[in-house]
Copies of this chain bind each other. A is one copy, B any other.
Amino acid sequence: MKENNPRIKLYIACSLDGFIARKGGSVDWLTEYENSSETDYGYSEFYASIGTVLIGRKTYEQVLDFGVWPYGEKKTYVFTRQKEPLRREKNVEFVSGNVGEFVRRLKENTDENIWLVGGSQLIRVFLEEDLVQDMIVFVVPVILGSGIPLFDRIGKEVRLRMIDTERYESGLVKLEYEIEGRHKKIANHKRKDIQKFG
């Protein structure tokens, strides 16, 4: 028996108009917040709490462009439909095929929580397939006007439970939600039936 049922967590920053990057992938507008001397927005604590990093191919290439691979201590899976080989960083594996099936097996084989880094396309798949449990979104005080959306017209309605907010000196606001999963609802519903007839 595993001690802990790992949770998949989105932990990401976006502009007030919901963009995680400019059109070409640039996150230059985030730099002034990343280098804050006052706070790391809980990043160290969060990073220490997760065992695995999940990342889409485009975001992977974007992060590679930054120069230093930042997730070397964590097992990282890069989701890709490309045949062309990609540069492979430390602890990185490439994944194709059924996302839901992969995630089910991954969760069976780890006790530690999992970080869904992004980007837009992978987040969409994860939300549509009910694979995310927690969402920590940092709202940056800027309207970018255009870019890559955090939520790219998700093909379903997702109800959330507000867990925590925090406001930082810099103007960033953390919004932390749990996803009210369908499985949970079904379980509650069953419990009610038992009470009703039991």
Once A160-B171, A162-B167 are accepted as A-B contacts, the answer to whether A177 and B141 lie under 8 Å apart by CB is: yes
Q: Chain A contact residues (Cβ within 8 angstroms of B): what range? A: 20 to 34
Q: Which of A122-166 contact B (CB under 8 A)?
A: 127, 135, 137, 139, 141-146, 150-151, 153-162, 165
A52 to chain B, nearest CB (A): 24
Are B157 and A151 within 8 A (Cβ)? no
A83 to chain B, nearest CB (A): 31
Q: With a CB–CB cut-off of 8 A, which chain B residues contact A137? A: 16
Copies of this chain, whole number: 2
The CA-CA distance from A142 to B157 in the complex, in Å, is: 7
A160 to chain B, nearest CB (A): 4
Binary interface encoding of chain A residues 156-189 relative to chain B, with 1 for a CB under 8 A from any of its CBs, else 0:
1111111001010001110101000000000000
A55 to chain B, nearest CB (A): 21
Q: With a CB–CB cut-off of 8 A, which chain B residues contact A143? A: 127, 151, 154, 157-158, 160
Q: List 30 A-B contacts (CB under 8 A).
A: A16-B135, A16-B160, A16-B177, A17-B151, A17-B154, A18-B18, A29-B157, A127-B143, A139-B175, A141-B159, A141-B160, A141-B161, A141-B162, A141-B177, A142-B157, A143-B154, A143-B157, A143-B158, A143-B160, A144-B157, A145-B153, A145-B154, A145-B157, A146-B153, A160-B171, A161-B171, A162-B171, A162-B173, A165-B165, A173-B173
New A-B pairs, 4, CB < 8 Å, besides A141-B162, A142-B157, A144-B157: A16-B151, A143-B154, A145-B158, A160-B171
A-to-B contact residues, CB < 8 Å:
16-18, 29, 127, 135, 137, 139, 141-146, 150-151, 153-162, 165, 167, 171-173, 175, 177
